[in-house]
Amino acid sequence: MAVLYHNPRCSKSRSAVALCEASSQSVAVRLYLTDPLNKSELLDVLSRLEQPLSSSIRMKDPKFKLVDSTSLDPDNLHSVVEFLSLHGHLMERPLYDNGVISVIGRPVELLAPHL
Partners of 2 in the beta sheet? 27
Burial class, 60, CB count within 10 angstroms (exposed 0-12 / middle 13-18 / buried 19+) = exposed
CA diameter of the chain: 43
pLDDT in tens, the chain (115 residues): 999 999 999 999 999 999 999 998 999 999 999 999 999 999 999 999 999 999 999 999 999 999 999 999 999 999 999 999 999 999 999 999 999 999 999 999 999 999 9
pLDDT one-digit tens code per residue, 25-42: 999 999 999 999 999 999
Fold topology of 2-114: Glutaredoxin (3.40.30)
Dihedral Cα 22, 114, 28, 33, nearest 10 deg: -110
Q: Is the pTM of this model over 0.85?
A: yes
Question: Please, is 66 exposed, middle or buried when counting C-beta atoms within 10 Å of its C-beta (0-12, 13-18, 19+)?
Answer: exposed
- Give the whole-angstrom CA distance, residue 22 versus residue 72: 37
Sequence-distant (6+) residues with CB within 8 A of 108 are 12, 15, 16, 19, 94
Query: Rounded to whole angstroms, how far apart are CA atoms 67 and 47?
Result: 24
List the chain domain ranges: 2-114
Which of the residues are catalytic? Answer: 10
User: How far, in Å, CA of 54 to CA of 112, rounded?
Assistant: 22
